[in-house]
Chain A
Amino acid sequence: MPEIFLNLAIIITKIVFFTFLVVLPLVPLSVYFERRFSAVIQDRVGPNRVGIPLTLLGMKKDFHFFGLVQPIADGLKLFLKEDFTPEHVRKAFYWMAPALTVVPALITVCVVPFGSSVSLFGHTEKLVIADIDIGPLFIFSVASLSVYGITLAGWASNSKFPFIGGVRSTAQMISYEIALGLSIIPVLLYYGDLNLSRIVQQQADHGWLLLPLWKNGTLSLPDLNTALFLIPAAIAFLIFTISIFAETNRMPFDLPECETELVGGYHTEYSSMKFAMFFMGEYAAMVIGSALIVTLFLGGWSIGFGLDAIVAKWEIFGVGIAGLIHLGCFLTKLLIFILFFILVRWTVPRFRYDQLMKLGWVVFFEAALLNVFLAALIIAAPQLTAAIIGIGAVLLVAITLAVIWVAKVSDDTVRPIPA
């Protein structure tokens, strides 16, 4: 009986720690980085004043901490604002929508491996809430639920601009979900596994998917097959990253909420904490999205270069701290990727709506599909005879050219009928 209680306590500790002490604080932190980094890109300073106001207590000097307290001030402001519900909305759905955007984003936290494992009193515990065997599938299935929140918000607001925003969000989700799912099939083929923590362990041992420069703890050049697999891996990385951008409604795909066309998009009619929950949901999705990219392509928590095996043996007072070091490494990678998200926001202008749909359906869908076959051919090559590999390669090239030709032909705009 006590065994069950112990396990339950461990699980609850993990949920509280990872969801509320790791991922949720990352949301205001990424808002802070968004504001500061955007400012720096635009030759500005950004919020650098909000700190601990010691002068109010009669001290000489305030502590600014580079404005790191700014998100707390923002949050307080949103709490204190009037929570206004317009007369014309459909109340039940209007109230449900913000929760529907936040909750799926936070649920997906449970399969992300934050670190290797921490051992305490001879008891080893993996730093992942639920170590299930369908990691990426679980994330896709739950994360795509958050579009219901946006669509419902748009519909329940009972006003035209939010409605257009909601519809756009749905269409965008449908166009990119397929590319998102197809693009990681080569990666899963390569690992032969769907368990995220085992995938990361494999990367720690044999080199990251995009940086296979070590094997079993020693630096070495990759063999021919691994090196060749870098091509489909890079294509998969590109498609997956761009699809994640679309999935999280980030620039350059933030069509559901583009201010220039739709006032505020789906959250036009929302205020106060309800608005803040949309905001939080969006940033939480961004955090989870970059966590997934880091986990699948960039080695997750592994430090790399064969250092993981060395770190794994480190102990302080009988406590295995490898997990904590790996947690730090994972969070660093995550933050760098979030900065990349922000950099993209200020580099790439927003896509036009038809361009977005075309990119999803005509380019990425086909590219991801062909990439699956390319990856399969490269993985299967050692078992096949040269003739079969040759035939496969020729077929692949032929199909690729055919697809490009079809895309080009269908691309022709409708010509006006001659008078």
Chain B
Amino acid sequence: MAVIKLQRPKLSIGEKLYLGALVKGFFLTLGHAIKTLRGKSIGADTLASSGLGVTMQFPEQRWDDHMPEYYRGAPALVTDEQGRERCVSCQLCEFICPPKAIKITPSEIPAGDRWAKVEKRPLEFDIDMIRCIYCGMCEEVCPEQAIYLRKDYLITGLKRADMVHDKKKLYEIGGMRVGLVNKWNELK
């Protein structure tokens, strides 16, 4: 390998004295401080700052309006236009889930039901939000477009049991989603 000899730049006396650079530095840092106090920091408006620096102060200000389309929040189950739960408990998401956060107990749909030909639906569907890593693999693997990562990010609880989202909670977060493929609908 060739050895490259770097020539240090020649400094003038002013630069060697170091004092000019110091004063310049003071003005720079102090300028930042003053701009911060006036709420005029660079990027303060685009980042929706609280008026002090570029920081958004959380409980009073939320970034909900600034969330990108592709944001991955809590995974949730969705229903279709007719209120049918889309999940057929194939358990693909359970198997692909890297941290093993999903637990599904499948059950049959009784013969008299309107959607009896779907045959299966989940009896229990638990996602342990302590384990979930928001990777979105469940959404990607689902053949029924039943599980989606929504924009909910404030998932808190006082004990471990609170952090397990059961089926009811999952449908509550997911709600109804229209405009998806509906292969189980009646033929017209």
Contact = CB atoms under 8 A, between A and B. Distances in A.
Interface of A: 37, 39-45, 48, 343-344, 346-348
Interface in B10-26: 22, 25-26
A41 B32 contact: yes
Interface in B28-85: 28-30, 32-33, 35-37, 41-42, 44, 50, 52-55, 57
B36 A347 contact: no
Interface in B114-128: none
B57 A347 contact: no
Given A347-B22, A348-B22, A44 B55 contact: yes
Contacts of A344: 26
Contacts, number: 47
Contact of B37 (A40, A42, A48): A40
Given A43-B32, A43-B41, A348 B57 contact: no
A41 B41 contact: no
Contacts of B36: 40-41, 43-44
Nearest to B30: A343
B22 A43 contact: no
Q: Classify chain B's interface size.
A: 20 to 34
B29 A41 contact: yes
Given A43-B53, A343-B29, A344-B26, 4 more contacts: A43-B42, A43-B54, A45-B57, A48-B52
Contacts of A39: 53
Interface of B: 22, 25-26, 28-30, 32-33, 35-37, 41-42, 44, 50, 52-55, 57
A185 B25 CA distance: 30
Contacts of B57: 45
Q: By CB atoms of chain B within 10 A, which of A42, A48, A347 has the most?
A: A347
Given A343-B26, A348-B25, A40 B33 contact: yes
B26, B33, B52: residue with the most chain A Cβ atoms closer than 10 Å: B33
A48 B37 CA distance: 14
A320 to B, nearest CB: 38
Contacts of B26: 343-344, 347
16 contacts: A37-B33, A40-B32, A41-B30, A41-B32, A41-B36, A42-B32, A42-B53, A43-B32, A43-B35, A43-B44, A43-B53, A44-B36, A44-B54, A45-B52, A343-B33, A347-B28
Contacts of A347: 22, 25-26, 28-29
Contacts of A348: 22, 25
A221 to B, nearest CB: 26
Q: Report the 9 A-B pairs with minimum CB-CB distance, sorted nearest first.
A: A347-B25, A43-B53, A43-B41, A45-B55, A40-B36, A40-B33, A347-B29, A44-B53, A41-B33
Given A41-B36, A43-B36, A43-B41, A346 B29 contact: yes
A344 B50 CA distance: 27
A55 to B, nearest CB: 12
A188 B42 CA distance: 47
Contacts of A48: 52
A407 to B, nearest CB: 12
B15 to A, nearest CB: 15
B50 A45 contact: yes
A346 B36 CA distance: 15
Nearest to A347: B25
Which of A37, A41, A43, A347: most chain B CB closer than 10 A? A43
Nearest to B28: A347
A326 to B, nearest CB: 28
Contacts of A42: 32, 53
Most buried by B among A41, A44, A343: A41
Contacts of A45: 50, 52-53, 55, 57
Contact of A40 (B25, B28, B50, B53): B53
B37 to A, nearest CB: 6
A287 to B, nearest CB: 21
B43 to A, nearest CB: 8
A413 to B, nearest CB: 11
Contacts of B44: 43
A41 B52 CA distance: 11
B39 to A, nearest CB: 10
Contacts of B41: 43
A41 B35 CA distance: 9
A45 B36 CA distance: 9
A53 to B, nearest CB: 14
A346 B52 CA distance: 18
B170 to A, nearest CB: 32
A11 to B, nearest CB: 42
A43 B54 CA distance: 6
A306 to B, nearest CB: 30
A400 to B, nearest CB: 15
B52 to A, nearest CB: 5
Contacts of B52: 40, 45, 48
A41 B50 CA distance: 16
A363 to B, nearest CB: 10
A63 to B, nearest CB: 16
Contacts of B28: 347
Nearest to B42: A43
Nearest to A37: B33
A3 to B, nearest CB: 53
Contacts of A343: 26, 29-30, 33
Contacts of B35: 43
